[in-house]
Copies of this chain bind each other. A is one copy, B any other.
């Protein structure tokens, strides 16, 4: 039956015509299965890319276009709850982006009605077919997830280009299926807490990118975020802390008369709601309960769990690797099994993540009870004890039909039977795991650690100092070439991490995650041969338009050109060069407690900055805005390696040296004025005459101990009055 002619002419509402198709139109005969296969394998002839992101496995332009307007309907099989849910999800997205409120109908719509039709069949699981024809957009999959992903792709077509009202969607044939089963993000809600509403919105964004695993980091030294009914002190004690530093200590809560605590936790009801919300979007939440390390918050709540003679006073306000480990008493395993039992009741995920990373064994080595147990069990060292510990937990999980997943340190003392290894220290863990016959997920730092900075500008949110741009993330290939064809399937997929030490606010989580998570999504979903940076960035424009239409935020993209600071007389710390980058961080000031705070790029092991080739002609004064931060970094014995320079006066100085960091001091500004302020303080002083020509300036602080960590905010040379007034 022909479609009514009226549908074929543009309506008076001037629907936008998507520009992304038709650059290369293949003859109809080309669409044989063999040709499609050839195109997929050989990547040629290339069809113009649709705005679907991640790129579908196979897509081909088709004749005509589909006219979507307010009269269009979305149809799903009658009584098919999952298909109808995906139809409603699509309708909601179309309404929020195009402003078209489409009706969702059950059963096949009449032929004369322009419809987006969800049908069962033809593809399994997450795979789907999608055909855009003048008559209809048809999505086919026998899988609930496949229908959902088809609906997401249909929305991406409908919402591109961005704008309101009707739109003509060019003809298209899509055959799509994911490359990997595990396409994940990890959200650290332990270091900084995010609201349930934010977590749900985050899941929504994941689902729209066809990401399907949210690893939820719920317990760490700095916070225990999950209500456990049998152990209420975990959240009563473990979910709250006073931030580090005197500013927070001085911020008295009027109700308690004590310093204000930050934190929070998720009640079991909230968790059940979030898990259900995620399940509707085909996102599995893999809960993570850290053991045997990263356990300070839990041990603060229940000191008997620990292995140290003196239990911690509370959850930590420090970052880094803490020494507190669970002990190996039977009662402690009882506690862990109780906790995991409640966790398994809340989270239907087949995988349960037990952490396993960064467990330094100092306390176990010193604990006579641990040592006695090792002898009893004929276990030769503490790494092997951790292997036994994790193996025992893995056996417990397996007895309940679950599988253990852990960070790659679980390889060290003997990987637990059936355990999946999350490879974070590069891909070595993935290689070892796969070669030992274990499954693995590629989650390597630094590329997949999204607390690393995306950009080098002074306005970049706080984070680790290393630059990990979108292209770095996009170009990463997760399957190591050394794996054999039989070993490669052990790489289940990819996962990017949002560690939140330096990501204090929800908006910053969004900006750290996106757009980089979209590059992960494409790596996780699209066939390796389909990846193409230029094509991705083109589709990214459409994607970010859709996200803006939904009111979402993301990190700066495209990356701005680096500002021309060569001749500038004032530079922020991010515009200086770090002398070293041992532990480079882009840190936020701890003060003021409320309102905007300064950000400082600093190597905490060596606070030292260089202004290369400064033009000092006529410069007689120097002005420096400096901050002071609590040194709340647990770096073990490395604390002895922090470079300290002896002070000339009790307050210490900011020293400026000429040409080299051991060169002559040409300015020395006392820190005395800065001692009085927790926030940024301006210091001014004369600059000694220097020989003609350009000079490197080296900035360092003198002080007697690591705390406070003095940092450069901004330095200015002979600043004109108006520049000084304008501030940073």
Contact = CB atoms under 8 A, between A and B. Distances in A.
A377 B377 contact: yes
Residue among A381, A384, A412, A416 facing the most chain B CB atoms (10 A cut-off) = A384
A412 B436 contact: yes
Interface stretch (A262-270, A390-398, A639-647, A664-672): A390-398
Interface in A179-206: none
A431 interface: yes
A123 interface: no
A413 interface: yes
Given A412-B436, A431-B482, A384 B380 contact: no
Interface string A401-435: 00000000001111111000000000010011001
> What class of interface size applies to chain A in its complex with B?
20 to 34
Nearest to A394: B380
B435 A384 contact: no
Contacts of A414: 384, 387-388, 391, 413-415
B482 A417 contact: no
A214 B381 CA distance: 30
Contacts of A435: 428, 431-432
A383 interface: yes
A331 to B, nearest CB: 14
Interface string A455-472: 000000000000000000
A395 B380 contact: yes
A378 B388 contact: yes
A379 interface: yes
Contact of A383 (B411, B417, B431): B417
A358 to B, nearest CB: 16
A639 to B, nearest CB: 24
Contact of A417 (B381, B411, B432, B480): B381
Interface in A258-285: none
A482 B428 CA distance: 10
A432 B435 CA distance: 8
A395 to B, nearest CB: 4
Interface in A432-461: 432, 435-436
Contacts of A411: 436
A727 to B, nearest CB: 46
B417 A391 contact: no
A523 B379 CA distance: 37
Nearest to A425: B435
A106 to B, nearest CB: 49
Contact of A379 (B380, B391, B415): B391
Residue among A412, A414, A416, A480 facing the most chain B CB atoms (10 A cut-off) = A414
A391 B380 contact: yes
Interface of A: 377-381, 383-384, 387-388, 391-392, 394-395, 398, 411-417, 428, 431-432, 435-436, 480, 482
5 contacts: A380-B392, A388-B414, A391-B414, A413-B414, A431-B482
